[in-house]
C-alpha cells in the first residue's frame, strides 16, 4: 500500500509542477463556463425578455392582437412588450417619433445587439384579411439565444391561437345568423358592427376563463439555462479529457523506457500501474472540486446535497480514468493516444449533454448519448439541481458509471502490455 501511494504522489507532484496543467485544467474550463453560460442565456431568472411588436397594419384588429400579445407575454414578469408607434415605455429604449419605414431595420438592429430577444411583425392587410376569413401570417424573428425565443414562441403561439379562434367563431356566428334571418349582407355596415360585437363578447369570455392553470414547481425552481447548464457540462468535460490523458502518459513512459525501469524495482507491476492511475484519479477529483467551486462563484446552483455531489466527484473521475486505461491498451504511440483522447473528449462531451441539454435533442440521440459517461454524470447533476433529488435519486446514474468503470478496468488490465 505504501508503494502505491508513493507512485501516486509522484504523479501528482509532476502534474502540479507543469504550468500547462493550470492553464488547460483550470483556467480554460473556467473561461468556457463563463462564455457558454452567457451564450445560453446567463441568469435567465433575472433577465427581462424584451419582445418588439411592429404594427404595420394599424387596424382595430391589429391593435387587439397587440393587446392579446401583451396580456399573454406580460402575464409573466420575465417579459416586456415594446409596441412600435404611439407612446412607448421608457424601458424599451425606443424613439417615440420613429417613422414606420424605419421600424424593421431598427428591430433587426435590436435583435443583433440583443437589446431584444424577438420581434413580431403584423403586416399591412392583417385586419382586412382576418375579417374576411382568410389565412394571415404574423412574422416572428428571434435572436440567437438558445432559451428566450423558445419561451416567447410558446406565448406568442397561444396569443395567435386565441385571436384566430375568436375571429373564426365570430365569422361562424355571423354566417349562421345571416343564413337564418336573411340579414347582415356581405360588406354591409351592419355585418361589420355585428362582427365586432360578437368578437367583443368572445374576448370577454376569454378574460373570464373557466379553467386556469396554476404553475407550481415539483421540488426545485432552479433555472435549467445559462450557467446551470454550462457549469456542470464544462466541469465533467475537462475532467474526462484530463483523465483520458492517462493513456498518453502510460504510452509515453513506455516509449521512453521509464515504465520498464520502474518495473525493475522490487514492486509488483500491478502496483506501479495502479499507482499511476491512482495519481491521475486523485488529480481528476481535485480538478473536479476546484471547478465546482469556480462554478459556484459564477452562480451555479449545484443542488445543496453535499453527499450527492461528493458521489459524482468521486465516481465520475474513476470511470474516466478507467476509460483512459482502456484507451492505452488500444493505441500504440503517444501521438495516437493524444489525438484520439482529444477526439474522444470532444465527441463524448456534446453527445453526453455537456454543451447543451439532452432535452432538446431527439429521443434516439438522447439514448445514443448515454453511451458517454458524461450523460450519466449530467443526469445526476440535473436530478439534484433541478428536481431537488438526493443520494437515492442519483444511485441509478452512479450505478451506470460504476458498471462502465468495471468493464473498462477489466478490459484494460486484461489487455495492457507492460513491455
pLDDT digits (tens, 9 = 90+) for 326-337: 888 888 787 887
pLDDT attached to residue 217: 45
Least confident stretch, 70-74, 96-100, 206-210: 206-210
DSSP state at residue 353: T
CA atoms within 13 A on the CB side of 320: 35
| Contact (CB, 8 A) for 349 and 374 | yes
DSSP state at residue 359: G
Domain ranges of the chain: 2-41+224-415, 47-164
pLDDT attached to residue 372: 93
pLDDT mean over 117-146: 80
Q: Is residue 80 within a helix (H) or strand (E), and if so which, with residue range? A: strand 79-83
pLDDT mean over 58-77: 82
143 CA to centre of own chain: 15
Sheet with 138-142, strands from edge to edge, namely 79-83, 49-55, 118-122, 138-142
Query: What is the DSSP pairing of strand 138-142 with strand 79-83?
Result: unpaired
Q: Per-residue pLDDT for 218 more than 60?
A: no
pLDDT attached to residue 211: 52
Question: CB count, 10 Å around CB of 378?
Answer: 27
> For residue 400, what pLDDT band results from cuts at 50, 70 and 90?
very high
> For residue 320, what pLDDT band results from cuts at 50, 70 and 90?
very high
- Distance between CA 111 and CA 389 in Å, rounded? 38
Is the C-alpha dihedral spanning 198, 203, 206, 208 positive or negative?
Answer: negative
Question: CB count, 10 Å around CB of 395?
Answer: 13
Least confident stretch, 177-191, 269-283, 398-412: 177-191
> For residue 207, what pLDDT band results from cuts at 50, 70 and 90?
low
- Partners of 53 in the β-ladder: 83, 120
pLDDT digits (tens, 9 = 90+) for 68-95: 888 878 776 778 888 887 667 677 878 7
Q: At 141, phi and psi to the nearest 5?
A: -110, 140
- Top-confidence range, 19-33, 74-88, 116-130: 116-130
Instruction: Please report, rounded to a whole number, the percentage of residues in the chain having pLDDT higher than 90.
Output: 14
> For residue 221, what pLDDT band results from cuts at 50, 70 and 90?
very low
Spell out the CATH class of 47-164. alpha beta
Instruction: Please report, rounded to a whole number, the percentage of residues in the chain having pLDDT higher than 70.
Output: 82
pLDDT mean over 191-195: 76
pLDDT mean over 195-217: 64
pTM of the model: 0.58
Angle, CA of 226, 230 and 232, to the nearest 5°: 125
pLDDT attached to residue 215: 46
Please, what is the average pLDDT of the chain?
79
pLDDT attached to residue 312: 94
- Distance between CA 212 and CA 226 in Å, rounded? 30
Amino acid at each position: 500500500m505504501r508503494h502505491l501511494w508513493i507512485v501516486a504522489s509522484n504523479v501528482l507532484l509532476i502534474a502540479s509542477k507543469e504550468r500547462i496543467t493550470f492553464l488547460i485544467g483550470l483556467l480554460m474550463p473556467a473561461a468556457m463556463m463563463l462564455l457558454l453560460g452567457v451564450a445560453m442565456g446567463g441568469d435567465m431568472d433575472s433577465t427581462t425578455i424584451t419582445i418588439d411588436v411592429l404594427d404595420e397594419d394599424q387596424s382595430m384588429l391589429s391593435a387587439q392582437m397587440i393587446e392579446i400579445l401583451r396580456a399573454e407575454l406580460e402575464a409573466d414578469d420575465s417579459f416586456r412588450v415594446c409596441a412600435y408607434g404611439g407612446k412607448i415605455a421608457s424601458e424599451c429604449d425606443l424613439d417615440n417619433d420613429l417613422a414606420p419605414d424605419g421600424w424593421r431595420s431598427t428591430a433587426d438592429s435590436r435583435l443583433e445587439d440583443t437589446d431584444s430577444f424577438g420581434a413580431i411583425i403584423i403586416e399591412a392587410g392583417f385586419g382586412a384579411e382576418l375579417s374576411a376569413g382568410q389565412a394571415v401570417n404574423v412574422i416572428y424573428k428571434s435572436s440567437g439565444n438558445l432559451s428566450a425565443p423558445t419561451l416567447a414562441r410558446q406565448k406568442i403561439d397561444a396569443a395567435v391561437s386565441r385571436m384566430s379562434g375568436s375571429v373564426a367563431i365570430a365569422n361562424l356566428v355571423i354566417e349562421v345568423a345571416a343564413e337564418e334571418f336573411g340579414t347582415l349582407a356581405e360588406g354591409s355596415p351592419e355585418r361589420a358592427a355585428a362582427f365586432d360585437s360578437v368578437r367583443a363578447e368572445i374576448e370577454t369570455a376569454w378574460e373570464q376563463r373557466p379553467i386556469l392553470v396554476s404553475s407550481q414547481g415539483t421540488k426545485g425552481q432552479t433555472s435549467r439555462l445559462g450557467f446551470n447548464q454550462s457549469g456542470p457540462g464544462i466541469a465533467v468535460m475537462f475532467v474526462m479529457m484530463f483523465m483520458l490523458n492517462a493513456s498518453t502518459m502510460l504510452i509515453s513512459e513506455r516509449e521512453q523506457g521509464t515504465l520498464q525501469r520502474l518495473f525493475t524495482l522490487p514492486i509488483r507491476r500491478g502496483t506501479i500501474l495502479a499507482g499511476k492511475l491512482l495519481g491521475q484519479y486523485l488529480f481528476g477529483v481535485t480538478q473536479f472540486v476546484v471547478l465546482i467551486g469556480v462554478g459556484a462563484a459564477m452562480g451555479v446552483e449545484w443542488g445543496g446535497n453535499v453527499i450527492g455531489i461528493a458521489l459524482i466527484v468521486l465516481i465520475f473521475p474513476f470511470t474516466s480514468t478507467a476509460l483512459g486505461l482502456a484507451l492505452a491498451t488500444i493505441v500504440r504511440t503517444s501521438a495516437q493516444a493524444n489525438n484520439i483522447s482529444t477526439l474522444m473528449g470532444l465527441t463524448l462531451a456534446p453527445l453526453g449533454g455537456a454543451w447543451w441539454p439532452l432535452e432538446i435533442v431527439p429521443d434516439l440521440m438522447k439514448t445514443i448519448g448515454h453511451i458517454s459517461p458524461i450523460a450519466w454524470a449530467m443526469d445526476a447533476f440535473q436530478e439534484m439541481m433541478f428536481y431537488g433529488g438526493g443520494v437515492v435519486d442519483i444511485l441509478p446514474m452512479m450505478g451506470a458509471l460504476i458498471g462502465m468503470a468495471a468493464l473498462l478496468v477489466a478490459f484494460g488490465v486484461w489487455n495492457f502490455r507492460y513491455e
